Chain A
Amino acid sequence: MILFLLAFSGAVLAMFTAFTVAFRRGRATSARESREYPFVSLLKPVKNIDDDMAANLESFYRLEYPAYEILFAVDDFKDPCVAILRDLQARHPRIRTTIVATGHPPFENPKVHKLARLESKSRGTLFWATDSNIRVAPDTLRRLVDEYLAHDAKVVFSPVQGSSSRTFGSLMENAGLNFFTSGSILASWFLGRQPIIVGKSMLVEREALETFGGFGYFKDHLAEDFLIGESFAKSGFRVSTNCTWVTNVSQTATLRSLFKRLSRWAKLRYHLKRPVYLAEVLLNPIVIALAGGIFFGGHGWAVVAVTAAAKVAIEYLNFLFVNPEDRRRLRNHLLFPAAVVAKDLVFFAVYLTPFFSRQVEWRGGRIAIGRNTLIDIPANVDNLVYEGA
């Protein structure tokens, strides 16, 4: 039984690697000549200072795209990142930059709240929402818009490349992004046409979004990115990707910050698609082998060793092809096997958290979530506002 599960797990994970390697440079969308590119509003909710934030944001000012604006949303102008934003605004006067302070309502998705406010200030026919720790290549936006134009896609999503590891925690985090996250995004799309949208980057058509009433439609849910994909697809709008990767810069993650982030994502997945989440443990072969080792001893421990070696090999392949920046550092090569094993053990610990808690920590706040990541609101008989069944 254990061997069967390991074989299944290995086959799926090998497929993840195959997809990430095969599509590491994206797919070509038909020729762009004679295309008239629409004006795009880049929406960036930001808070505090991320790793290498100035360089990340700077990359959005170097896009090879004819007409776009950048809109930043912060909770308030005391946020330390505002200085970086002002500096960018001053250094790039030719790109219209808007900085908006939006406040922070207690029981709304803070990111959606910001996106909705930016939406009202924007002029674009397309929105490109990206996180503040994302860095992009100059042709990223053009490639995303090519996909939009070529296939009338109302949402274009991207796989995520984790990069720039400086700590052991970052190496684990980036390996997880490149292998598990992007692997599942690509496999789900190419095998089942199921869009798994990660909010790190999504291009959305304004007109289509307005049929829902704008970003505000998703304000009561924490996993707005996944639900945007699901809602658009259910409503008959085309959702697509041409595998234009964006880079998630994680340099200084610690074990603690990694655990928090993974735990948040695990709870979101648990509350979105519980059966799929329950099956996720099958994609952790090291844990499966360990369970076998504990029960069967002897040969079981040999199986653990072989499984760990195979898992490291599969992920190492992914590392070599998908993460060119990190592979330039010898230290990352040396630490990688340990990082993979440690990551999978952390993944398993994280996997258990949704069974014990609905609380999600995010940007300094704690939010409880329910079905479909609906944000919980403390009961209060003085509050007579309707919130749905």
Chain B
Amino acid sequence: MRAHDKAWVVTVLMGLGHLRAAYPLRDLTHEGVVIYGSRRTTPNPEYGIWRRLRRVYYASSKAGAIPVVGKALVALLLAVQRIKPYYPKADQSKPTLAVRLLKRLVLKRGLCRSLRDKLAAAPYPAVHTFYATAVAMDALGPSAPGPRQDQFLLICDADFNRVWVPEDPKTSRLRFLAPCTQVRRRLIAYGVPEGSILMTGFPLPKENIGTETGLEVLKEDLFERLLRLDPAGKFFSYHEKSVLGWLGRDTVPADRPAHFTLMFAIGGAGAQVDMVRNILAGLKSRIRAGEVRLTLSCGVQREVFERVQGYISDAGLRDELDRGLAIVYDQDVYGYLDQFNAHLRRTDVLWTKPSELAFYCGLGLPILMADPIGAHEELNKRWLREIHAGVSPPGPIDACGEWLFDLRESGRLAEAAWDGFLKARKLGTFKIERLIRTGEFQEGASPLDL
């Protein structure tokens, strides 16, 4: 591959996950992140297809909340998104119905045709964070004679459906950026040649990391976080030497901050918004006492933001805003992501469904796992458990004021933070940038191979 100073970075608004993956790559972009499928960027009738897909996505994300039929709908959703078991190992390269349908949308209905024209404007490689645009560019080929642009597809989950891979992966020129080992295994099972898989790690925000070789910001934040998450010193009694060694510290201070900060991240579709009411009920007295600070990440949907404000009012906690309570919300998605990343630095526990945010455990954040939505999130949850960076709530949500503090007291949250730091890759952004700028790729032996 040739070296380029810039790349097209293409994403799609389908929740916030794919956009969150694209945003850290913004320094690389030719003219900003291309958010395809949105009202402003996509002409009709293609916009209509995207709008319908988005409606199905949002509706299915919220299906579980529907009384009576909700569970049946979720079961149906899981069946549609089904990811075949990896074991026993088998050739899973045979295209599924979804793969053929996507190809049909591209070739017969013109999906992504205007994107091809857009990308043809400059001969840069393209990094996609959503499968449909990548598969479409691969299927459509160039709109004009000349060398083909390199197309990369970043996988945004720890395991994924066959639809992310083109119909015939052996002849495809699409290359894949893998966030973790299981993704590489799955890609091979789907028939992707090993040479087309690059183990980069998930792109995390550089502002939460620092430099590639120093990880200054990450190390500073993590050390402070571990102190806040280990008030009784249990975690440090096991891991003190390891922490001091990796984080470049000499001693562990005796004084620990009394409070810690929990961030609850509502998914882009807003499906978890009603949990806020129970979380507020569970933590109200703790917030008032200054024992915990709660950050509510609402995404970019007005409806979600307003409902969260309503729950805060109902709980009688409006006066705690900007003290024990914070809201992360912006109608502009970049403004939201900036705010989110800034708040993450002060966050000690991230409570979220196991979406792409599962990979944020690489920043040394313990992930408190809300119920997953979809098969890929089930497998993200499994991955988090495997690396010990994810913790399942041990009790009902409205008792979180009890179990959250017990988890903290036992050092389990600090341990999850530490395991995430040790075991999850955190240099995805730097590795993808280097890949584009030098045309070369070198895979580290481990997540901490800096």
Interface residues of A (CB under 8 A from B): 211, 213, 217, 220, 231, 234-237, 376-377, 379-389
Contacts and interface: CB of A to CB of B under 8 A. Distances in A.
List the 9 closest pairs (A to B, CB-CB), nearest first. Answer: A236-B313, A235-B309, A234-B306, A379-B43, A386-B333, A236-B310, A381-B118, A384-B32, A383-B40
B334 interface: yes
Given A211-B309, A381-B114, A386 B334 contact: yes
B331 interface: yes
**Binding site secondary structure of chain A:** loop
Contact of A386 (B54, B312, B332): B332
A235 to B, nearest CB: 3
Given A217-B331, A384-B31, A384-B32, A236 B44 contact: no
B19 to A, nearest CB: 8
B302 interface: yes
What band does the interface of chain B fall in when counting residues whose beta carbon is under 8 Å from A?
35 or more
Contact of B117 (A211, A236, A381, A387): A381
A384 B114 contact: no
A379 B42 contact: yes
A387 B38 contact: yes
Contacts of B303: 234
Contacts of B43: 379-381
B318 interface: yes
B41 A235 contact: no
Given A211-B309, A217-B331, A379-B47, A386 B314 contact: no
Q: Most chain-B CB neighbours within 10 Å: which of A211, A220, A384, A386? A: A386
Interface string B4-46: 0000000001000000000000000001111100111111100
A384 B34 CA distance: 6
B307 interface: yes
B300 interface: yes
A381 B41 contact: yes
A387 B40 contact: yes
Q: Most chain-A CB neighbours within 10 Å: which of B38, B114, B313? A: B38
B115 interface: yes
B1 interface: no
B309 A377 contact: no
Contacts of A236: 309-314, 318
A379 B118 contact: no
Nearest to B55: A389
B321 interface: yes
Contacts of A389: 13, 38, 54, 58, 301
Contact of B115 (A217, A220, A381): A381
Given A213-B331, A388-B331, 12 more contacts: A213-B330, A234-B303, A236-B310, A237-B313, A379-B41, A379-B43, A380-B41, A381-B41, A381-B114, A384-B35, A386-B333, A389-B58
A234 B305 CA distance: 10
B310 A235 contact: yes
B300 A235 contact: no
Nearest to A232: B306
B40 A379 contact: yes
B40 A234 contact: no
A384 B33 contact: yes
Given A235-B313, A386-B35, A380 B40 contact: yes
10 contacts: A217-B302, A234-B310, A235-B313, A379-B42, A381-B117, A386-B13, A386-B35, A386-B38, A389-B54, A389-B58
A385 B40 contact: yes
Contacts of B302: 217, 231
Interface string B263-305: 0000000000000000000000000000000000000111100
B381 to A, nearest CB: 26
Contacts of A377: 39-40
A379 B309 contact: no
